[in-house]
Structure 1
Amino acid sequence: MMNINPVDKDEIELLLNYPLMSKSLQDGTITYSGFIEINNTDYKVSVQQVSEKTFVLHLPHNLKHLKRKFSNIMQQQSTNSIVSYLDSLTVYIKSKIPSSEPSTHCDIYKQVLHEYYELTRFYVNLKKCHLARDLSKINISTEDDQNRTHSVEITVNYENKDIFQITDYDLPQDKDILKASSNLREVYEQFHRSVDNLQSFFNLMEVVDTNSCILDPVHPKKRHNYRRIWIGENISMILTVDPLNVSRIPEIKFLGPEPLVEAYRTTINGNLKKWDQNNDTFSEILHLIGITEFPQKKATVNVGDDLLIMSGDCNICYSSRLNDKLPEIICKNKFCENYYHTECLYEWLMSVNARRFFTEVIGNCPNCEKNITCPIPRQMT
């Protein structure tokens, strides 16, 4: 068998692995110079071997920012082989610069199909599970312990390491809480845990919806943690609940004539200390506002072909809803107390040259001509 001395062996390995690199000897210093290929791009490099285990690297201008850190790494990983040195350099540069090579995503496609199949086999409470034809989205419907249906959309992002990300669902929770993952079951379980944690919230809102007249939202969804409840012909209340702590005292705001609003505020302030978070939350809400049950609104009355304007309708556009919002402003004149949408009143006041300030407009009520204040709509600021 032919023996190969160490020098010849290194040169053969260099030729086989880095054919565009050449070796030269000048003034007793060995220099390796040429090109290495990284992500289908050739980079010109030069490496001086000043001792058996010491190499000095020279990189092109567009890679000079990588030199110091790589040199520090190689000081801790001593090597006496130029091929090993160039291997480490190639791996390091690949990790720091983006690849220009197009990805086929084949391995990810296989992963998505496999994990989708495993998900449908593992969870028996899935009501519906659908994978888009282009493997970009997974839509899931599931049932909780009370047979309520919950839907979630999981998007497949082929550009990220954590390819599965929840992008749409009907829960009163910030999407940022649900993290992306490379595991589909892990992402789905995050959603399922959120649903389990919100069972008390769903139960309470169902009781509120069943036992009160809801003005807003018209069609409540599971993500809505507020309800605008009809109390009387000219007064309503907005109930806002903490979804993760329904036994906590909710936020309550009344809309209506100032004397009525003040009366309810006084009642609530007097009952705050009586709140018992260990009792039924709905009963505690009723006790807090001083009633035994929420009143029920009578059906709308039609006269001929014209619909009577109900108390609480906007006195400018003569409708209860504008962009799916109820009137928010009530004239404080006790002989007027007409309702207005913020947008309607703002446009009216600006058309008659009312005084505009940083956050509000002050002018005369369209009905009684007494002073009225209107916040500037968000889209107008």
Structure 2
Amino acid sequence: MDDADLALLLKYPLISKALAENAVTYKGTVHVNEEDYEICVTNSNDTNFKLTLPERLTSFEAEVDAVITKEQPKNIITVLDIICTFISTKIPFTEPIDRCEVYRHILHEYSDFTRFYLNIKSCFLAHDLSKVRISTLDQGRREHSFEISANFDDKNVFSVTSYDLPLDKEEFRKSASLKDIYDELLGTIDTFQPFFEVMDEFDRNCWVLDPEEPKRSCGYRRIWIRENFSVIITLNPVDVSRLPEIKLLGPERLVEEYRSNLNSNISEWEPKNGVFSETLKLLGLESFPQKPAVEERVPDLLVNSGDCSICFSSRLNDKLPEVICKNKVCENCYHVECLYEWLMSVNARRFFSDVVGLCPNCEKNITCPIPK
């Protein structure tokens, strides 16, 4: 080992030297301002040094190269000195934040929380203390999962960041107490018990087309009534006794029939008799049709009942077809997005929030809402 190699080892012990046929490569780590930086310097002759900096410093490579070209260092140690000086100037040292008290508080809160609530189904604290995942059961034995995040820079360290409830995130307050956050969550779940019970009744007793896997936060159900005809029933989660919003989807002749039923029965709405049974009464039904054990699809047909007649599928971006041609000899279904793109491609006319053109199947007038 010559004197130059010994000097390099003493000053930059984490830099290794590799000899090639026409160049020498110096590669390794330099420690600046309490941080490590991986660098690589290739020397093809005494004064030609080629520099490679880590990704977070690549924007500075041209400036460092300019300094090295100007000063023309004679050895690798001078080059490394220039690099380290440049890094210390561009990325000044920041005193690390002492969060020991915050971490201690989170661990203390989590320990007390898991001892106090014995009926929690599961509880998990992330290894970096950044979040707590909780799963619990409500009065109806329905499971609810939450994620509570920890903000190390806020005195109210805990906040709810993930849940499946029909409300806005802004409704949950931050708190320094994990138990207070959880108590507020339990109270919110209790207020929605009537809503959960009614939605469960719809799920048990109807052929629900949409959503495929209903979440607790979802306040609507699209229910199959008969071929090419369905209804979207939307409830108010805060007050399920209110008259639900009902949207009829299907051929015009069927829409008019069920709209007549709604208009005739709406004055008899009495939620005390049960929201589910009263909704049936609104629609003039004794019961909702049940989903068959095996849904029949005719393999020889390109488009089955309920499929979009443009893309030939039932779902597009997790949405079912909602536009149905009013022509009684057609009554084909279309996704809003599919029909809109089709109509725009054939120069359909736009009226406010709708597009009017010719049905791709029967070439009679059809109206499509503009996708949001």
Please give the TM-score of this superposition, normalised by the length of structure 2: 0.71
Instruction: Give yes or no for the alignment of 1:337 onto 2:337.
Output: no
Equivalent-residue separation in structure 2 for 1:327 and 1:104 (angstroms) = 56
Counterpart residue number, 2:268: 274
Counterpart residue number, 2:295: 300
* Residues 186-335 of structure 1 aligned to structure 2 (within 5 Å): 186-298=180-292, 299-303=294-298, 306=300, 309-335=303-329
Equivalent-residue separation in structure 2 for 1:334 and 1:324 (angstroms) = 28
Q: Is the 8 A contact 1:302 1:308 kept in 2?
A: no
Deviation for aligned residue 1:274 = 1.0
Instruction: Give yes or no for the alignment of 1:184 onto 2:208.
Output: no
Q: Is the 8 A contact 1:330 1:338 kept in 2?
A: yes
Please state whether the residue corresponding to 2:216 is helix, strand or coil.
Answer: coil
Equivalent-residue separation in structure 2 for 1:302 and 1:267 (angstroms) = 31
Equivalent-residue separation in structure 1 for 2:315 and 2:273 (angstroms) = 36
Cα deviation digits, residues 185-231 of structure 1 (max 9, x gap): 11111111111111111111111111110000001111111100000
Say what the alpha-carbon RMSD is for the aligned residues.
1.7
Please state whether the residue corresponding to 1:208 is helix, strand or coil.
Answer: helix
Equivalent-residue separation in structure 2 for 1:307 and 1:183 (angstroms) = 60
Aligned AA (2:194): S
Equivalent-residue separation in structure 2 for 1:223 and 1:313 (angstroms) = 27
Deviation for aligned residue 1:302 = 4.7
Q: Is the 8 A contact 1:232 1:297 kept in 2?
A: no
Aligned AA (1:301): E
Instruction: Give yes or no for the alignment of 1:121 onto 2:121.
Output: no
Cα deviation digits, residues 52-101 of structure 1 (max 9, x gap): xxxxxxxxxxxxxxxxxxxxxxxxxxxxxxxxxxxxxxxxxxxxxxxx96
Aligned AA (1:376): I
Cα deviation digits, residues 277-330 of structure 1 (max 9, x gap): 222221111111111100124443355x65663322101011110011000111
Equivalent-residue separation in structure 1 for 2:186 and 2:264 (angstroms) = 40
Equivalent-residue separation in structure 1 for 2:243 and 2:302 (angstroms) = 38
Deviation for aligned residue 1:181 = 1.2
Please give the TM-score of this superposition, normalised by the length of structure 1: 0.70
Equivalent-residue separation in structure 2 for 1:118 and 1:177 (angstroms) = 25
Deviation for aligned residue 1:122 = 0.8
Aligned AA (1:330): I
Q: Which protein is bigger by CA-based radius of gyration?
A: 1
- Which range moves more in the overlay, 254-263 or 210-219? 254-263
Please state whether the residue corresponding to 1:114 is helix, strand or coil.
Answer: helix
Counterpart residue number, 2:144: 150
| Unaligned 5+ runs, structure 1 | 1-99
Q: Is the 8 A contact 2:123 2:132 kept in 1?
A: yes
Deviation for aligned residue 1:343 = 0.9
Aligned AA (2:181): V
| Unaligned 5+ runs, structure 2 | 1-93
Deviation for aligned residue 1:162 = 1.6
Q: Is the 8 A contact 1:155 1:164 kept in 2?
A: yes
Equivalent-residue separation in structure 2 for 1:206 and 1:230 (angstroms) = 16
Cα deviation digits, residues 76-133 of structure 1 (max 9, x gap): xxxxxxxxxxxxxxxxxxxxxxxx9653111111110000111111112211000000
Counterpart residue number, 1:65: none
Equivalent-residue separation in structure 1 for 2:300 and 2:172 (angstroms) = 50
Q: Is the 8 A contact 1:286 1:292 kept in 2?
A: yes
Equivalent-residue separation in structure 1 for 2:331 and 2:155 (angstroms) = 59
Instruction: Give yes or no for the alignment of 1:107 onto 2:89.
Output: no
- Percent identity reads 57
Aligned AA (1:374): C
Counterpart residue number, 2:157: 163
Aligned AA (2:206): S
Equivalent-residue separation in structure 2 for 1:250 and 1:292 (angstroms) = 18
Of 324, 347, 359 in structure 2, the residue corresponding to residue 365 of structure 1 is 359
In structure 2, the CA distance between the partners of 1:232 and 1:342, relative to structure 1 (3 Å rule), is same
Q: Is the 8 A contact 1:301 1:308 kept in 2?
A: no
Counterpart residue number, 1:353: 347
Q: Is the 8 A contact 2:148 2:158 kept in 1?
A: yes
